[in-house]
Structure 1
Amino acid sequence: MLINLGRLLMLCVWGFLLTNLIHPFPKPLKYFIDVALFFMVIMHGFQVTLLKSTQPKDQPISYWQEAKIFIFGVFELLAWQKKQPPLKKK
C-alpha cells in the first residue's frame, strides 16, 4: 500500500519536473527545478547501474524492470526486494 503511494508520489514529482521543460516556471524557480531534474536523473541512473552491477550473471534484470527502477527509484527497489526469494546461506 505505502509502496504504491510512493510510486504515485514519484510519478507526480517526475511530472512536475518535466513540466518545467515544456512550460518553464519563473526565473529563480526554473533553475532550481532544472538542477533537481538533473540530480534525479543522475541518482536514479546510479541506482539502476549499481543494481545491475551487483546482480549475479545468471539472474539478469529485464529492461522493463530497469525502466521501472529508473522511474520509481527506491520504491520500486523495495517492491522488487520483497518479491525476491531469500538467499540461502552456505
Structure 2
Amino acid sequence: MLINLGRLLMLMIWGFLLFNLIQPFPKPLKYFLDIVLFFMVVMHALQLTLLKATLTKDEAKPRAAFQERVFLFGVFEMVAWQKQQRAQRPAGRGR
C-alpha cells in the first residue's frame, strides 16, 4: 500500500518536473527545477547501474520493463523487488 503511494508520489514529481520543461515557471524557480530534474535523472540512472552491477552472473538479467520501472520509481520499485525476492526465496535460505 505505502509502496504504491510512493510510486504515485514519484509519478507526480516526474510530471511536475517535466511540466517545467514544457511550460517554464518564473526564472528563479525554473532554474532550480531544472537542476532538480537533472539530479533526479542522474540519481535514478546511478541506482539502475548499481543494480545491474550487483547482480551475480547466475542471476537473470533484469527485463527492460523492470529497468524502466526502476528508473521511473527509484527506491520504491527496489523495495517492492526486494520484498518479492524475499517471498520467492525458499524457507531456511538467506536471512
TM-score normalised by the shorter chain: which range applies?
over 0.9
Opposite residue 15 of structure 1, the aligned amino acid is G
CA shift for structure 1 position 56: 1.5
Which residue in 1 is equivalent to 2:68?
67
RMSD: 1.2
1:6 matched to 2:6? The reply is yes
CA shift for structure 1 position 57: 2.1
User: C-alpha distance in 1, partners of 2:61/2:3?
Assistant: 23
User: C-alpha distance in 1, partners of 2:56/2:65?
Assistant: 18
Unaligned runs of 5+ in 2: none
User: C-alpha distance in 1, partners of 2:12/2:54?
Assistant: 29
Unaligned runs of 5+ in 1: none
Could you tell me the TM-score, scaled by structure 1's length?
A: 0.94
User: C-alpha distance in 1, partners of 2:89/2:50?
Assistant: 20
1:1-90 correspondence to structure 2 within 5 Å: 1-58=1-58, 59-84=60-85, 85-86=88-89, 88=93
**Secondary structure, counterpart of 2:46 in structure 1:** helix
1:32-83 per-position Cα deviation (integer Å, ceiling 9, x unaligned): 0000000000000000000000012232111110000000000000000000
Identity value in percent: 62
Could you tell me the TM-score, scaled by structure 2's length?
A: 0.89
User: C-alpha distance in 2, partners of 1:38/1:57?
Assistant: 32
User: What is the number of residues matched between the two proteins?
Assistant: 89
